[in-house]
Amino acid sequence: MNQTMKCQQLMCCAGRLYAVIAVGAVGGVGLCTQSALGDLPTVYTQEQAFYETGSATLKKQSFEEIESGEQTSYSCEGVTLACEAGYTMRRHNAASRATDGARSVMITDARQLVLTFDSPVNAVGFQLIDFADAGEPADLVVTTDTGEVVKLLDDFYGRNGEAHFVGVTTAEPFTQLTVTTTVTNDGFYLDECYFGQVEIGEVMVSAGE
Ligand SMILES: [Ca+2]
Ligand SMILES: [Ca+2]
């Protein structure tokens, strides 16, 4: 798949119509200059490209200080992470399942997570570890409380222990993001969550996996 096709595919993820004006390539990362016929959700699959959108304003939660044991939610600085009603998640103490520090959040059965931010954000990204590695492909969709619906992963196959970054930026700030996955018979881990408000102008779109 070439850079243009990849960018167009990503732009259409929200099920809305976007016009991609120009596409270039810079060191393996596609630069998409675009005009949105509505809001502008942009999908990222590379942490560096996402981070460069607003490194000065993005906060990071590494889940190093969260409580141990079964929990239904974690209140962290700037963000509260809650899992699907009726399920629990837990702190996992192994660097092999963390991308930042030595701890991460382990999700075994819940298939929906809700991130609620203390103040509005328009950029959220995080690492998924050991996701969709049980032989069945999985989608990952995020929904904002402002009505944006964006598919971050589509028929994704992961590998044992591998980390994959996903992120999204929107034109309109939001305070709650619901993460829903179709993954089956598979536990996974969440770590290194970035969030904040970034300037939306020319945006960098990751063109690789
Ligand atoms: Ca961590
Ligand atoms: Ca897994």
Residue-wise pLDDT tens digits, 157-183: 999 999 999 999 999 999 999 999 999
Q: What is the pLDDT of residue 200?
A: 75
What CATH architecture applies to the domain 39-198? Sandwich (2.60)
CB 125 within 8 Å of CB 194: yes
> What is the value of pTM for the model shown?
0.80
- Collect all residues with Cβ–Cβ distance below 8 Å to 201 and sequence separation of at least 6: none
Q: Establish how many alpha carbons lie within 13 A of residue 101's alpha carbon, considering only the half-sphere containing its beta carbon.
A: 17
Selection from 174, 179, 180, 178 nearest residue 196 by Cα: 174
How far does the centroid of ligand 1 lie from the alpha carbon of residue 60, in Å? 10
How many CA atoms within 13 Å lie on the side-chain side of 20? Answer: 21
Does residue 111 contact residue 182 with C-beta atoms inside 8 Å? yes
Q: Residue holding tokens 């079964």?
A: 70
Instruction: Say how many Å lie between the CA of residue 201 and the centre of ligand 2.
Output: 36
- Per-residue pLDDT tens digits for 69-81: 999 999 999 999 9
Question: Distance from the CA of 26 to the center of ligand 2, in angstroms?
Answer: 33
